[in-house]
Amino acid sequence: MINERKVRESFKQVKKDNEFLVKWISYLKERIEELSLIATQNEAAQNEHEEWKKNVEKKFNEHLMKQSEEKEIVHQQFTEAQNRIIRQYDGASLDILTEQQRKTLFLIGSLQREHGAQYVPVRTTNAELYGTQNVEKMQTTVANYLKRLEELHFIERMKKGRHSYVRLSEYGMKMLASHHVEQMKSPVMLH
């Protein structure tokens, strides 16, 4: 037969189990709500981060565009200035050069013709101009002459490794041809 006492204990146990389950369900609901809130906050933070990233990329691209535009403007200004200099000296005679700069220019043309080379080593130019004089001291002097000739677009310079080379520019050849410099073929020695 059914023992009433056992049935009551059984119901008490079911009631305790139900109370325990209700507490666990309540606890789990709270945790789910907390996790949902955290997920929502994470999603909001992620969206905010994505928005920030887009703004940074946009500003960076704008900066690159502005920098590119500025670079183009500077390049145009440089080209215009260079063209003004060329126009200023275009048609000018070799009179704008010092005597030594003229001799250096003539020597480069002469060496180019003699050697049949596009470029002439600067070392050869130094040796031809100054022979065995203090070569190190004269290198600086010749370098200054070459720099001036390059600024005036009479010559072009090229560096290959540790060696420097020069040649007459198209403008330099035109100037030498117009001034009949055949008489300057021999090396010039300065003392």
- Chain-wide mean pLDDT for the chain? 83
**Is the predicted pLDDT of residue 190 greater than 50, yes or no?**
no
pLDDT score at 1: 63
**Which residue in 110, 112, 88, 128 sits closest to 165, CA to CA?**
112
Instruction: Determine if the pTM surpasses 0.75.
Output: no
**Is the predicted pLDDT of residue 167 greater than 90, yes or no?**
yes
The tens digit of pLDDT for each residue in 148-161 reads: 888 888 899 999 99
pLDDT score at 78: 83
pLDDT class for 135, splitting at 50, 70, 90? low
Contact call for residues 108 and 173 (beta carbons, < 8 A): no
Contact call for residues 125 and 165 (beta carbons, < 8 A): no
Residue 57 in tokens: 């990329």
Q: How far apart are CA 156 and CA 146, in angstroms?
A: 9
What top-level class would CATH report for the domain 94-184?
mainly alpha
The tens digit of pLDDT for each residue in 67-115 reads: 989 988 988 888 887 767 666 655 556 778 888 888 999 899 889 988 8
Q: Lowest-confidence range among 64-73, 99-108, 171-180, 182-191?
A: 182-191
Domain ranges of the chain: 1-89, 94-184
pLDDT class for 182, splitting at 50, 70, 90? very low
Count the Cβ atoms, other than its own, within 10 Å of residue 75.
10
